[in-house]
Structure 1
């Protein structure tokens, strides 16, 4: 790491610890040439994920949209907030573990439905009814039969 004071490239780490946000490493460094100390922060570089929508438009992945959909599905259901957050985290992990730069929204929807099926069956049906755009009661009943089997 280059010293911000003298420009020397020989610096050493004195102390290393997680920063307050938990996603960054705070490093205290010392320059071997001028003996001044400075702090650096190290953060994992993430590749932006692009979501391919049904109409083939592309937009950057937005966690708040995922949270909104899951929270709407779980509205007034006896599901703990911690369980909802854990589910959202697991969905996001499944999405990013594919290590792809682009992912169709249909794949995200399927991952969400699988997770909601385990979390709460009513939340699953609510999400599926919007996601799969049920046209009538028969398609709704078909989905309910799948859950009951």
Structure 2
């Protein structure tokens, strides 16, 4: 397993246990070069969830890509990184479909973020909905306030 910090190719498993949902194995690893620790999840993949992009292109769902987007949206916000990880890595199991439009993934991510943090929600929405002006930000914020969420 390649280290996410220094890209060294070797690490050792320090601890292994089933994840909370029992569908994967959580492994704590330690890099043999920089000695930093990181977590990986291992699970059986029977049939990958296919994501249908806006242009019609299909690609396999990548939880790391979803986690990266959620992490960017919640940067410097009081949101538990483990909650983000659990959502991203549990997403495929929760969907129960073999194919999903990318827009639906974005909608579900926004629904997940909304009760956690308004700022993170707006950050994610600005990318997902491709805000192109200050007015779009203001409109979305007003929508939150009108729903009594802001």
* TM-score, normalisation: structure 2: 0.64
**Greater CA radius of gyration, 1 or 2?**
1
Quick one: distance in 1 between partners of 2:57 and 2:110? 22
**1:147–1:91 CA distance, 2 compared to 1 (3 A):** farther
Shift of 1:135: 1.6
Alignment partner of 1:78 is 2:78: yes
**1:134–1:52 CA distance, 2 compared to 1 (3 A):** same
- The within-5 A match list for 1:1-149 is 20-22=16-18, 23=24, 44-79=44-79, 83-90=80-87, 92-149=89-146
Query: What residue ranges of structure 2 are gaps of 5+ in the alignment?
Result: 1-15, 19-23, 26-42
**1:45–1:122 CA distance, 2 compared to 1 (3 A):** closer
Quick one: distance in 2 between partners of 1:136 and 1:90? 30
Contact 2:71–2:84 (CA under 8 A) maintained in structure 1: no
**1:27-73 Cα distance to aligned partner (Å, 9 max, x none):** xxxxxxxxxxxxxxxx7553211101111111111011011000000
Quick one: distance in 2 between partners of 1:64 and 1:44? 16
Quick one: distance in 2 between partners of 1:106 and 1:59? 14
Quick one: distance in 1 between partners of 2:71 and 2:123? 11
Contact 2:67–2:84 (CA under 8 A) maintained in structure 1: no
